[in-house]
């Protein structure tokens, strides 16, 4: 498992626990948050994939989640914090290049 999947897994668990705990009474709110997560994913893909940009995006999402806490934003704060920690901890190490298979010459 890739460590970068942890925030997405935390987000899904953060939405699944209140959904099941409420006896599926919060399904409309959960669907709205899933749509919001989809939009964040699409917008995040469109942003430049720089470390500074991703840290900034995670920092902008944090007050938004606190502001929408009553509507369920609290459920996604652990995922956003995990994403922020992963981005800050990644010191811009060069990405590993795949090893080219040796060809017989």
Residue with tokens 């929408």: 68
Please report the pLDDT score of residue 42 as a whole number.
87
pLDDT over 80 (residue 66): yes
Range of the domain at 74: 3-89
Q: Is residue 23 part of a domain?
A: yes
* % pLDDT > 90, the chain: 48
Q: Is residue 96 part of a domain?
A: no
What's this model's pTM, rounded to 2 decimal places? 0.78
Quote the number of domains for the chain: 1
Mean pLDDT, residues 1-5 taken together? 82
Q: Is residue 64 classed as helix, strand or coil in its secondary structure?
A: helix
CA–CA separation, 91 vs 79, rounded Å? 20
CA–CA separation, 76 vs 65, rounded Å? 7
Q: Is residue 100 part of a domain?
A: no
* pLDDT band at residue 91 under the 50/70/90 scheme: confident
Pair of tokens at residue 89: 């901890």
* pLDDT band at residue 67 under the 50/70/90 scheme: very high
CA distance to 40, 43, 50, 82, per residue, from 46 (Å): 10, 5, 12, 21
């Amino acid at each position: 498992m890739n460590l970068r999947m942890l925030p997405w897994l935390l987000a899904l668990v953060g939405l699944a626990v209140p959904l099941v705990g409420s006896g599926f009474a919060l399904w409309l709110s959960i669907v709205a948050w899933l749509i919001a997560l989809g939009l964040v994913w699409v917008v995040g893909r469109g942003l430049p994939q720089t470390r500074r940009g991703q840290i900034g995006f995670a920092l902008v999402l944090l007050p938004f989640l606190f502001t929408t806490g009553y509507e369920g934003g609290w459920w996604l704060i652990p995922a956003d914090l995990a994403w922020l920690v992963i981005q800050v901890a990644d010191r811009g190490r060069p990405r590993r290049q795949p090893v080219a298979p040796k060809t017989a010459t």
